[in-house]
Structures are given as C-alpha cells and as structure tokens.
Amino acid sequence: MFDKYFGFLRSHDEDSILQSLLEHSKIDAEELHILYKMLNVMMNQENGDLKSMHDQINNINNDNVKIFETVTDHIIQSNFDFQKQYDLLRLQQRIDAVSGLIIATSKRILISNNIGTEVPSVLYPSLKKIIELVIDSQSTFIDAIKKFQTSRKEVIKLIHKAEEQETLVDNSRSECLELLYDLGNQNQLKMGDFAAIEGIIEYLEDISDAIKTATTSLDWLLLN
C-alpha cells in the first residue's frame, strides 16, 4: 500500500527524499488528530476507548518505521555533498522526534486514564487550545515542505509563521499551567491527577517545539 509513496525512493534526488519526508509528516498529522480525540475523551468531551486509540497511534508508527528507515540509506547513498546529506539527515531526525513525542504523549494520556485522572472542566478550553495550535503548526510544517519543492521563496514566510505558532503554544501552556497550579493551591486536585495533567501539558508543548525545530531545519537546505 505504500508503493505509491515510496517507489520513487529508488532515485536519490532531493525532491524524492523530501517527498518521503512529506509523507512521514502527513502520517504524524493523522496521529495528532487521534491524539486530539484522546484528549477529548479524557476530558469527557467525546466517547472512545483510549487504549484502542493509543494502540492505533502505536501501530501506525510501527507500520511505518521500517519504511522510513530506508530514507536514511538513500540520503547516505546519494550523490549530495556532505553538507546537504547532513542537513537532510538532521531534518529527518527532527521529524522522527515529532513522531516519538506524539507516542509519548499518547502514553501519558493512557496512564492518566488508567489511574482515574479527572480533568477539571476549567482546564478544558486551555487544553483544547494547545492541541489545536499544535495541529496548526504541523500543518504549517507540511506546507513548508510542499513550498520547498515548488516555491522556495515562500518557505521563509512559513518558517516565521511556525516560530510565531510555537510562541502561541508556549503562551497557552503558561496560561494552562497557571490555572492548574491555582487549582493545586486550592487543594482541588489529587496529587496524582495534578502531576498527570501537568505532564500532558508539558508533552504537548514539547511536540510543538519539535515541530518548530523541524520547520526551521529547512533554513539550512535553502542555503544549498
């Protein structure tokens, strides 16, 4: 089923490698939407089985990891100069970091559910805002890769947009933590619930930071 995406990897040109990284990022976007649903289920905004959704994210990643490992081989075997190889490998590693953090966040949500964590309703809007901003930032990264292949003049604008989006996520994270800490000071949260929710907030911000880092990695390729 992946032949339509990866058959071109027999060639070692930059466009084919970027296309494979683009498909990797689109799969990450799918996983983020599942993660969004997991968060909604945890906040009692949707119905669903968190274990099944976590397994779905994990299975998507496992199904693709070996396929995407071939990208490294093709970069190394290419005729690019050392700097371009290094820049492409760095971009791939940073995309892989996004995938890893999505899985880690999914695990944290599942663990929180397993211990019966209850998310106070006052936190719902802030948590939804963070994950929505993270999804938007992933969309910007995908747009940046597409523009790199068609109109590189637009890439810098999208890199700046990604930096601004990460700042928005960081601001939303701070607002959410302030609400959480206030609830903690009022003894309205169990210690385990407090730690679990704090961890999820921090992991979501980590995903955003990883996406921004991957997006800004395109800067280096523009210099080649």
Concatenated DSSP letters of 41-71: HHTTSS---HHHHHHHHHHHHHHHHHHHHHH
Instruction: State how far the Cα of 84 lies from the Cα of 221, in Å rounded to an integer.
Output: 7
Is the model's pLDDT at 18 over the cut of 80?
Answer: yes
Query: What are the two backbone dihedrals, phi and then psi, of residue 61, each rounded to the nearest 5 degrees?
Result: -65, -45
Is the model's pLDDT at 1 over the cut of 80?
Answer: no
Nearest to 171 by CA among 200, 142, 208, 144: 208
Segment 112-135 mean pLDDT:
96
Higher-pLDDT residue of 139, 149: 139
The rounded mean pLDDT for the chain is 89
The region of weakest confidence among 55-64, 110-119, 133-142, 159-168 is: 55-64
Cβ-contact 18, 80 below 8 angstroms: no
Instruction: State how far the Cα of 20 lies from the Cα of 27, in Å rounded to an integer.
Output: 11
Is the model's pLDDT at 71 over the cut of 80?
Answer: no
Which pLDDT value is given to residue 9? 40
Percent of the chain with pLDDT over 70: 93
Instruction: State how far the Cα of 198 lies from the Cα of 183, in Å rounded to an integer.
Output: 12
Hey, what are 98's tokens?
């996004």
Exposure on the CB side of residue 21, measured as CA atoms within 13 A: 34
Percent of the chain with pLDDT over 90: 70
Segment 193-220 mean pLDDT:
95
Look up tokens 């909604």; give the residue: 40
Work out the burial of residue 178: count CB atoms within 10 Å of its CB; fewer than 13 is exposed, 13-18 middle, 19 or more buried: exposed
Is the model's pLDDT at 61 over the cut of 70?
Answer: yes
Query: Domains in the chain, please, with CATH?
Result: 11-222 (1.20.58.220)
The region of weakest confidence among 34-48, 58-72, 135-149, 210-224 is: 58-72
